[in-house]
Amino acid sequence: MSLTDSLLSGDDCKNCRLCCWFTKYDLWETPVIDDSLREIISERYPETKFVSRDKGSYVFVMTETPQTDPLFADHPEPTRFDCPMLSTDGCRLGNDKPFECQIWPYRIMSQEGKLLISLSLLCKPICENSFTSVISLLKSGLADKIIAYSKIHPCIIKEYTDGYPILMYIK
């Protein structure tokens, strides 16, 4: 289950998986894993490797692989970095996904000291929803959850980068 389920179906994610692999240019987007989730993952999948990022937060060591997925045959990057939790059936973590994966494609970012919530346009299924629905989901509690989590785990706050429409500034 994700926090964006009302706009994005499990099948949308399973059939796309674009947000579960990265190119060398967007490795900064890889999800941050907190201590408790790291323990769960290590127990279930002891072969998983992590890199320590900051106090009590980690990122996965991604699996470098040639781009052979027919779904992305036109992708210009010949090499990709797959999340080790990615399987042909989607995410192996099910309901225990990292928080950033649960809120994808919403992102919390910092722009010149101001916090904001933006949207990744890479997620095509969510872009098929109306702008009003995308904002309504945020206002109906999702924004509060993102803000609350980011206060405990500020590592999920990414530096703002152009190309991400800003949905709201956080006061």
Q: Is 138 in the site for ligand SF4 (CB under 6 A)?
A: no
Q: Is 20 in the site for ligand SF4 (CB under 6 A)?
A: yes
In the shown chain, the binding pattern of residues 44 to 83 toward ligand SF4, with x for contact by CB under 6 A and - for none, equals: ---------------------------------------x
Angstrom distance (rounded) from CA 56 to CA 35: 5
Residue indicated by tokens 């992305």: 72
| Least separation in angstroms between CB 169 and ligand SF4 | 26
**Which one, 63 or 139, has the nearer CB to ligand SF4?**
63
| Least separation in angstroms between CB 117 and ligand SF4 | 19
Q: Is 86 in the site for ligand SF4 (CB under 6 A)?
A: yes
Q: Is 85 in the site for ligand SF4 (CB under 6 A)?
A: yes
Contact region with ligand SF4 (CB under 6 A), list: 67-75, 92-100, 117-125, 152-160: 92-100
Binding residues (CB under 6 A) for ligand SF4: these are 20, 31, 83, 85-86, 91, 93, 97-98, 101
